[in-house]
Amino acid sequence: MTLPHGISSNVENWLVANIPGATAPFSYTQIAGGHSNLTFKVDDAAGHSYVLRRPPLGHRLASAHDMSREHRIIAGLAKSNVPVAPALGLCTDEAVNDLPFYVMAFVDGHVIRDKATASSILQPQGCRRASESIVDTMAAIHAVDITSVGLQDLGRHDGYIARQLKRWHGNIVEQRTRELPLVDSVYEELMTRIPVQGAATIVHGDYRLDNCMVDAQGNVIAVLDWEICTLGDPMADLGLLMVYWTGPDDEASAWSNAVCTAEGFLNRADLAQRYGEVSGRDISQLDYYVAFAYWKLACIIEGVYARYLGGALGDRDPAELEPFKLQVDGAAQKAASMLEKLR
């Protein structure tokens, strides 16, 4: 059997030796990839299924795709009320598969990525339940006692937003290819308006519908993709969710597809209100965190644009890169408009 790129022949012996009940031979199906960590579904001869995660091909910076850290996060969260796929094993011996990897249990559910899937699998009642469960699960993440699950040293406890602002603006300055006056001015205003941060909580960092797995009733049964999780301000997760979510009555967004416009899904305002009620947190400064999310998105897209422009991501015709510039400008404008609400 031909193994997929990213899986060596040594993995089979490791699985048999380290994952209880795992029975050779194994088949591997890649279910996610790209610049993020690679994810494979692993099926064994006994009918068991697992998930294997490893860094992208050719990647050598362990700090950027730290498998031990990601494994530690989901293993710790398994002790909480947050639904995660159970962690089964971690391999740090690079002789096995070139780079570290970890294995978790396979969770059988649905990742809702488009409106047709939402309508056919969940139907209106399930879409409403998914909306509620997405919020309730996020509140559960932010309510985790980080000490009791052994994650109290996952990151710094203070100054999360300020550090994020300085980091992303520093990236813009370092790789600047054009003048971005609005990005710069929004940065300055975000720095002067940082809300007081309460106690640090776990922050997922990329929390949205398609990073959660739901059952047929719409209940979140596993939160996925913990690779940029850290400790910080929980409102940052809610702000980002607002950017990626467009409900039935919401203004359309260039950064979210139409999936949540299916009948039954809640709109942004209802999501935010539910989060405030379930978590007990003050959401009066939500507009700030939405502005921050839009601004950070502008910085990320500008970084991609700069790398394309410099040839790091392959040769592209300049006309092909124009949409990146427009998205950066659009995200910066959205950030500025959110800040106007705070004046």
Task: Say whether both 88 and 149 belong to one domain.
Answer: no
The arithmetic mean of pLDDT across residues 301-314, rounded, is: 77
Residue recorded with tokens 């996925």: 224
**One domain for residues 222 and 280:** yes
Decide: 271 and 242 in contact? Cβ < 8 Å.
yes
Terminal alpha carbon distance of the chain:
63
Q: What is the pLDDT of residues 235-254, one digit of tens each?
A: 999 999 999 999 999 998 88
Report yes or no on 24 lying in a domain.
yes
Tell me, yes or no, whether 101 and 209 share the same domain: no
Mean pLDDT, the chain, whole residue set: 93
Give the distance, in angstroms, between the CA of residue 46 and the centroid of all CA atoms in the same chain: 33
| Calpha distance 333→295 (Å, rounded) | 9
Question: Is 143 contained in some domain?
Answer: yes
- List, for residues 155-191, the tens digit of each pLDDT value: 999 999 999 999 999 999 998 889 999 999 999 999 9
Among candidate residues 105, 123, 147, the one where a domain is terminated: 105
Task: Identify whether residues 189 and 266 lie together within a single domain.
Answer: yes
pLDDT of residue 58: 67
Q: Are residues 236 and 325 in the same domain?
A: yes
Q: Which pLDDT score, from 0 to 100, does residue 59 have?
A: 55
* pLDDT for 313: 56
Average pLDDT (1-24) is 95
Q: What is the predicted pLDDT for the residue at 193? A: 97
In a domain? residue 249: yes
Residue that has been written with the tokens 């391999």 in this structure = 91
One domain for residues 26 and 167: no
pLDDT number for residue 63: 54
- The answer to whether residue 169 is domain-embedded is yes
Whether residue 263 lies inside any domain: the answer is yes
Determine, yes or no, domain membership for 5.
Answer: no
106 CB-near residues (< 8 Å, 6+ apart) = 41, 42, 49, 50, 51, 85
pLDDT at residue 33, rounded to an integer: 52
Q: 231, 227, 221, 203: which is closest to 86 by C-alpha?
A: 221
Summarize pLDDT for 270-290 with one digit per residue, the tens: 999 999 999 999 999 999 999
Here the tokens at position 172 are: 């813009």
Instruction: Give yes or no: residues 87 and 233 share one domain.
Output: no
Residue 319 domain-assigned? Answer: yes
Is omega for the bond preceding 83 within 30 degrees of 0, making it cis? no
The dihedrals phi and psi of 265, each to the nearest 5 degrees, come to -70, 145
| % of the chain exceeding 70 in pLDDT | 96
The arithmetic mean of pLDDT across residues 18-22, rounded, is 97
Tell me which of 86, 105, 124 is where a domain ends.
105
* Whether 318 and 273 share a structural domain: yes
Q: Do 95 and 227 belong to one domain?
A: no
- Residue 67's pLDDT is what? 94
Distance from C-alpha of 11 to C-alpha of 277, rounded to nearest angstrom:
47
Same domain, 46 and 162: no
Give the tens place of pLDDT for each residue, 206-238. 999 999 999 999 999 999 999 999 999 999 999
Confidence at residue 197, expressed as pLDDT on a 0 to 100 scale? 92
Distance CA(255)–CA(340), nearest Å, equals: 20
Which structural domain, as residue segments, surrounds residue 174? Answer: 115-340
Q: Do 144 and 283 sit in the same domain of this protein? A: yes
CATH number at residue 277: 3.90.1200.10
Lookup result for tokens 């960092």: 205
* pLDDT score of 131 more than 60: yes
Q: What is the CATH number of the domain that holds 75?
A: 3.30.200.20
How many folded domains does the chain comprise? 2
72 confidence band (pLDDT: 50, 70, 90): very high
Give the residues across from 105 on adjacent strands.
Answer: 50
Q: What would the pLDDT profile of 75-126 be if each residue is shown by its tens digit?
A: 999 999 999 999 999 999 999 999 999 999 999 999 999 999 999 999 999 9
Amino acid letter, 63: S
Q: Which pLDDT score, from 0 to 100, does residue 1 have? A: 73
Last residue of a domain, one of 83, 105, 127: 105
Q: Which residues pair with 213 in a beta bridge?
A: 222
pLDDT for 314: 64
Considering only 55-59, 114-118, 223-227, 305-309, which range has the smallest mean pLDDT? 55-59
Model confidence pLDDT, tens digit, residues 30-53:
986 545 789 999 999 999 999 999
Residues 132 and 216 in one domain: yes
What is the β-pairing status of strands 49-54 and 38-44? antiparallel
SS3 readout for the chain: CCCCCCCCCHHHHHHHHHCCCCCCCEEEEEEECCCCCEEEEEEECCCCEEEEEECCCCCCCCCCCCHHHHHHHHHHHCCCCCCCCCEEEEECCHHHHCCCEEEEECCCCECCCCHHHHHHHHHHHHHHHHHHHHHHHHHHHHHCCCCCCCCCCCCCCCCHHHHHHHHHHHHHHHCCCCCCHHHHHHHHHHHHCCCCCCCCEEECCCCCHHHEEECCCCCEEEECCCCCCEEECCHHHHHHHHHHCCCCCCCCCCCCCCHHHCCCCCCHHHHHHHHHHHHCCCCCCHHHHHHHHHHHHHHHHHHHHHHHHCCCCCCCCHHHHHHHHHHHHHHHHHHHHHHHCCC
